[in-house]
Structure 1
Amino acid sequence: MSRPPIFVYGTLRPGEPNHDLFLLGHTVSEVPGRLAGAVLYEGPGYPYAVEEPGGMVCGELITPVPERYDQLLLALDRLEDYAPGDPSNLYERVARDVMREDGTSLQAWVYVAAPTVAARLRIRGKLIEGGDWRARGC
């Protein structure tokens, strides 16, 4: 995977606060997408995607401007408290298939809840019904 798009489903979506701070002016395209095999849980002001068979998460596929890709990915890693191999990560950045509106799918980076966070959410987290942070449905 060279430079795949990034699937965003929470505060990085267009119209949400971190979109303008991190993505505005740094993307080539932003199109709706759906991540199968995951559900959303509420976090402290932002959601967590937790991998779960049968689930669906709504969001956008963000394609960064090529010359800003690496810098943007590092900034998003910092925002999501992600460092490769760090056991204290809140999120893990993983490659997953994301479906576009036309039914085709492609590999994208997705920040999912790290294993310890996911385990805690499954026990006592609040599920976001419908898998849409904006509660509009996919």
Structure 2
Amino acid sequence: MTTSTTPTPPPAPLPFFVYGTLRPGEGNHGLLLRGRTRSEEPARLSGAVLYDGPGYPYAVEEPGGLVRGDLVAARPEEYGEVLTALDRLEEYVAGDPHSLYERIEREVVRESDGAVVRAWVYVAGPSVTRRLRAEGTRIQGGDWRTRNPV
């Protein structure tokens, strides 16, 4: 008996919604994204809230919440390397319930024109989400740059 495994298709080349250290002007943006993007613009994600982490934030899905950040589109020739670098930074491994973050596809709204755009978003993984909801410090206003813990 021969079994055939179909390879998992590569992720769609979506832009990334970034809300912490990957935002333009922040440290990880300079390390991983500077010179590798074709556009960067303010955007917002509904249905999520932010929690303060050890030097970086976590987005956690929650109805009624709002997170402010930036929509970053990688240059096509850089996309694969950018995706790999961001997955590594966020300690994301597809299908691993112990991943620090999960990469999910969500709709975000561009601030400039209100257009809805599908994007990759790194949200807290399941175990991190449980811990944050139980004892985390929420960021009022959903903007890590102007954070005021609640």
Q: Which TM-score applies when normalising by structure 2?
A: 0.89
Alignment root-mean-square deviation, CA:
1.3
SS of residue in 1 equivalent to 2:146: coil
Tell me what 1:43 maps to: 53
Tell me what 2:138 maps to: 127
Please say if residues 46 and 64 of structure 2, whose CA atoms lie closer than 8 Å, have aligned partners that are also in contact: yes
The whole-number CA distance in structure 2 between the counterparts of 1:2 and 1:47 is 25
**Partner amino acid, structure 1, of 2:137:** K
Query: How many pairs are equivalent?
Result: 137
**Partner amino acid, structure 2, of 1:52:** E
Structure with the greater alpha carbon radius of gyration: 2
Q: Which TM-score applies when normalising by structure 1?
A: 0.96
Tell me what 2:124 maps to: 113
Could you give the per-residue CA deviations for residues 6-47 of structure 1, whole angstroms, max 9, x where no partner exists? 000000001111010000000000000000000000111000
What are the ranges of 5 or more consecutive residues in structure 1 without an aligned counterpart? none
Tell me what 1:66 maps to: 76
What aligned pairs does 1:78-97 form with structure 2 within 5 A after superposition? Answer: 78-97=88-107
**CA-CA distance at 1:136 after TM superposition:** 7.1
Give the fraction of aligned pairs with identical amino acids, expressed as a percent. 63
Q: Structure 1 segments of 4 or more deviating over 3 A?
A: none
